[in-house]
């Protein structure tokens, strides 16, 4: 909708609408905490131009407890933000994220003992990206088939069967995975780098892949936040003429209106 159309709908001048927009952009919203004794957080960030917006979404209350614009995702900022949430009185029971290393470290320090669910869809997506759509080796093809079923785990029996299939694959191709490069100058010591990379990813995330099975309130993915980030970026493209400061304010107001009452 254009400014002219908005002005006509509101029965006011275009300059009035422009002043209203400027008032909003000059005064970004401040996050408001809502008390929750059993808080399950989704944490995710996205990069926009030269900054990053990080959201802390309470999936129980359907409320954006906190959001912050930072230069990048890093341990120090995550530590400060998690401490702020903790000091605000939120009893955080679980966190679901894509497993940023800085966030993992911050959760361990600020919220020791809190379950940190790795985003199942992110792990699956990254694994398929590394393997490519058409792996050239039998090991890659078999592993891809296993990875494709990762989002279909709904109970402990599914989990045990999936882990069993993965471990059997790992045993079957143990010699293949141990093959080294014949070129002493090769930058990668082992051959089949991408397949090994997926194996490492699964083994590293396995302890935190299935917390959602023991508590149905734990979200198994951050897809809800990622979808809204996509909508945000599409809307921001329409307003390409905004200054850098107003772009930041636009992002914060978008968060406010999308997530809060």
Give pLDDT, residue 261. 60
Give pLDDT, residue 123. 97
Give pLDDT, residue 111. 96
Which fold, 21-119+221-259?
Nucleotidyltransferase; domain 5 (3.30.420)
* Tens of pLDDT, residues 159-194: 999 999 999 999 999 999 998 876 655 556 778 889
Residue 48 — very low, low, confident or very high, per pLDDT cuts 50/70/90? confident
* Tens of pLDDT, residues 1-34: 566 676 667 777 778 777 877 887 888 888 889 9
* Tens of pLDDT, residues 91-143: 999 999 999 999 999 999 999 999 999 999 999 999 999 999 999 999 999 99
Q: What is the pTM of this model?
A: 0.86
Q: Spell out the long-range contacts of 221-225 with Cβ–Cβ below 8 A and sequence spacing 24 or more.
A: 221/96, 221/119, 221/120, 221/121, 221/122, 222/42, 222/43, 222/44, 222/96, 222/97, 222/98, 222/119, 222/121, 222/122, 223/119, 223/121, 224/42, 224/57, 224/59, 225/42, 225/44, 225/55, 225/57
Residue spans of alpha helices (H) in the chain: 3-10, 14-26, 75-87, 101-110, 120-131, 138-147, 156-172, 174-178, 193-205, 223-238, 244-259
Where in the chain are the domains?
Answer: 21-119+221-259, 120-213
On average, the pLDDT of the chain sits at: 89
Give pLDDT, residue 208. 97
């Amino acid at each position: 909708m254009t400014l002219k159309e908005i002005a006509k709908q509101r029965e006011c001048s275009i300059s009035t609408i422009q002043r209203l927009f400027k008032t909003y952009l000059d005064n970004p919203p401040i996050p408001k905490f809502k008390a929750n004794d059993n808080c399950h957080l989704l944490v995710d960030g996205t990069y926009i131009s030269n900054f990053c917006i990080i959201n802390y979404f309470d999936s129980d209350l359907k409320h954006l407890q906190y959001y912050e614009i930072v230069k990048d995702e890093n341990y120090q900022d995550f530590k400060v933000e998690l401490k702020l949430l903790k000091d605000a009185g939120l009893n955080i029971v679980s966190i679901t994220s894509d497993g940023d290393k800085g966030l993992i470290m911050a959760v361990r320090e600020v919220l020791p003992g809190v379950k940190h669910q790795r985003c199942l869809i992110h792990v699956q997506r990254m694994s398929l990206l590394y393997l490519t759509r058409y792996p050239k080796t039998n090991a890659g093809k078999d592993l891809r088939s296993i990875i494709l079923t990762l989002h279909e785990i709904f109970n402990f029996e599914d989990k045990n069967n999936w882990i069993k299939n993965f471990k059997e694959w790992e045993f079957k191709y143990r010699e293949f995975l141990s093959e080294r490069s014949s070129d002493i100058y090769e930058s990668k010591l082992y051959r089949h780098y991408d397949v090994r990379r997926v194996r490492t990813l699964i083994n590293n995330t396995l302890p935190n892949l299935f917390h959602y099975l023991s508590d149905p309130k734990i979200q198994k993915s951050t897809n809800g936040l990622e979808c809204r980030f996509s909508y945000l970026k599409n809307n921001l493209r329409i307003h390409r003429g905004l200054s850098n400061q107003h772009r930041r304010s636009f992002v914060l107001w978008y968060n406010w209106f999308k997530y809060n009452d």
